Amino acid sequence: MCQVDEDYHDQLEHSDVPSVSKKCVKCKDATAAVVIRAGDPYCRGCFKEYFIHKFRAMLGKNRVIFPGEKVLLAISGGPSSCSMLSQVQEGLSQNAHKKLRFLPGIVYIDEGAAAGQSVDERQRTVAELQAVFRATGFPFHIVPLEQVLHLPSSVVMTTPSPSERPASAYKAAVDHFIQGNSSGCLTPQEQEETALPDVQESHTQLLQQLIGSAKTPTAREDLLNTLRQHLLVHTARTEGYSKLMLGDNCTRLAVKLLTSISLGRGAQLAQDTGFSDSRYGDITIVRPMRDYSAKEITDYNRMFSVPSVTPSLDTKTTDKASIQRLTESFVTKLQADFPSTVSTIYRTSEKLQTACQSSSTADHCDRCLLCMCALDKTVENASAFQATMISEQLSQNKFPGATSAEILRQNQAPVEPESSAPTVQCCSSGRGEDCGRAVTDGGCCSSGKVPETTDLKSLLCYSCQLTIKDMSSVVSLPQYILSEAQRRQRRSQMREEISEFLLDDGDEGD
């Protein structure tokens, strides 16, 4: 307790703040060149060794990437992804202590159309990145974001993943790789680069119309992230890669965790922030930079001249422009005063697990149509999600005078088609044959009740529902999303028609 007559005239002792003039905390000999944490000054050589070791340790500890696998590096041109490219290049060099054993490739998504850049600006950025990519010797692919409008429906469908190999198989794969071609060098044919294809002005306008249909910056950024990930996965599949490596760092993942909670993606945090993400089945997403803070990456790039070309698209926006930017501003400002903020949030994300069905075992019809995470099918009537839906219905006054139970039944009932003339489509039209029933006899065996308008709400997770809700029209969505949505609805309708003939899971053993 403070006393009235207490003497406060003594001088306050200043804490000993570490500076770059001190000796290195590791070698105890050289002068420190950088302070990565409070009380941890490192010299130039020890800092480089520490940075490289952390990258190798992250890959070696998880053992997700097997020797000889093709890994696609998603490079955005920012500091984090360019630093990841530098680490892979360092790990494949001849003088590396423990060489990396996978075969890397590079992909760059040109998002200039979404940012409103001119053709000259986009070509200038691509030219700078091509110079960086050619210096690595890795095969690279320049893909414009406009290609997302022409993706196949298989992008939002899970492809069966190869059977999981036991831990002992990793050592056997290493021995087999060493006995074979352990050089890891790419042939001249594999080093051929892919130039930026010509983009039609009409496709650019359609993409801008799609991005502009999102009425809020929060929904616009979330939609852009979803489309970008779809295009990355499609590129990895078509080019024969089994792993997709992202450059998300510790600071970015801490911001992403709080942002995802704010956007209602609590059930998907384990996939969105973990080291590996197998929601797509055959393509596994890995994040080897998740142990690095943004400060460490910036210091490393500055000290060792790692080039970075393009900043993120939200750099010029204000702090309150979107939930993503507001969360980022909050975390970075708090980190400046409390240096353990990002680390605490990041360590919390490592302990999170989803309570719903695993994304690696869930059927593609039980996944979100956009983010491809497993849907929580076991939501109770008294849950917060159902309460939110009931409140939304009451606020819209769609059912005046109805009780909450009646509104709940209305939400669970199938949506009737809005058009008075539903399209009649044969259930076997996808195979080029007819089911044998004439249209005059009532249409196809699926009763011809396929609605012309697509209701996406039942096919999306809560967060993606909010994104679609903030769009002015779902008609501007890419065709592969709408086609898959109609296919899932037809499948659900057919299953409902034959539900009384199906056996429950508990009856299979009888």
Residue 179 or residue 184, greater confidence: 179
Where does the pLDDT of residue 327 fall: very low under 50, low under 70, confident under 90, or very high at 90 and above?
A: very high
Among residues 254, 266, 432, 429, the alpha carbon closest in space to that of 347 is found at 254
Phi, psi of 443, rounded to the nearest 5 degrees: 90, -155
Q: Is residue 155 situated within a structural domain?
A: yes
Average pLDDT over residues 275-302: 92
Residue 21 maps to a domain: no
Residue 54 lies in a domain: no
Please indicate, yes or no, whether residues 115 and 227 belong to a single structural domain of this protein: yes
Q: What is the DSSP letter of 439?
A: G
Q: In terms of domains, do 389 and 447 share one?
A: yes
Q: How much is the pLDDT for 192?
A: 46
Q: Are 402 and 316 in the same domain?
A: no
Closest CA to 33 of 46, 44, 23, 49: 44
Total residues found in the chain within this entry: 510
Point out the domain boundary residue: 337, 366, 395.
366
Assigned token pair, 375: 């849907």
Look at residue 85 and tell me if it is in a domain. yes
pLDDT band at 252 (very low <50, low <70, confident <90, very high): very high
Q: Based on the domain organization, do 272 and 407 belong to the same domain? A: no
pLDDT value at residue 198: 76
Closest CA to 492 of 434, 457, 450: 450
What is the predicted pLDDT for the residue at 172? 67
Residue 168: Cβ within 10 Å count: 8
Give CA–CA dist 336/252, Å, rounded.
Answer: 15
pLDDT of residue 311: 56
pLDDT, tens digit, 9 for 90 and up, residues 23-41: 888 888 888 888 887 678 8
What six digits make up the tokens of 426?
């044969």
What is the 8-class DSSP label of residue 31? B
Position 48, amino acid: K
More confident residue, 419 or 311: 311
Which CATH number belongs to the domain containing residue 256 in this structure?
A: 3.40.50.620
Q: Which of 366, 393, 420 is the last residue of a domain?
A: 366
Q: Does a structural domain hold residue 59? A: no
Structure tokens at 482: 């709408």
Shared-domain flag, residues 135 and 210: yes
Q: Which residues face 73 on adjacent strands? A: 106, 245
Residues 283-295: what's their mean pLDDT? 93
Tell me the pLDDT tens digit for each residue of 371-416: 998 887 666 666 666 777 777 777 765 555 555 556 555 555 544 4
**What range defines the domain where residue 281 resides?**
64-161+186-366
Average pLDDT over the chain, rounded to an integer = 78
147-156, 244-253, 262-271, range with the lowest pLDDT: 262-271
Amino acid at 136: T
For the cut 70, the answer to whether the pLDDT of residue 437 exceeds it is no
280 pLDDT more than 60: yes
- Tell me the pLDDT tens digit for each residue of 114-138: 888 888 888 899 999 999 999 999 9
Contact between residue 471 and residue 213 where contact means Cβ atoms under 8 Å apart: yes
pLDDT exceeds cutoff 80 at 314: no
Do residues 291 and 222 both lie within one domain? Answer: yes
Q: Are residues 145 and 223 in the same domain?
A: yes
pLDDT score recorded for residue 495: 82
The H or E element that residue 415 is part of is none
96 and 205 housed in the same domain: yes
| % of the chain at pLDDT higher than 90 | 38
Angle at 201 between CA 124 and CA 317, to 5 degrees: 60
Shared-domain flag, residues 329 and 434: no
Are residue 393 and residue 443 in the same domain, yes or no? yes
pLDDT at 406: 60
Q: Which of 301, 331, 366 is the last residue of a domain?
A: 366
Regarding whether 417 and 318 lie in a shared domain, the answer is: no
How far apart, in Å, are the Cα atoms of 232 and each of 97, 220, 225? 31, 18, 11
The reported pTM is 0.80
- For residues 439-458, average pLDDT: 52
Residue 83 tokens, joined: 């630093």
Q: What is the pLDDT of residue 432?
A: 45
Is residue 495 in a domain? yes
Residue 350: inside a domain = yes
pLDDT digits (tens, 9 = 90+) for 62-89: 888 988 899 999 999 999 999 999 999 9
Q: Closest by alpha carbon to 494, among 441, 420, 435?
A: 435
Q: What is the mean pLDDT of residues 340-365?
A: 70
Count of domains for the chain: 2
- What is the predicted pLDDT for the residue at 396? 67
- What is the pLDDT at residue 118? 87
> Does residue 26 lie within any of the structural domains?
no
76 and 141 assigned to the same domain: yes
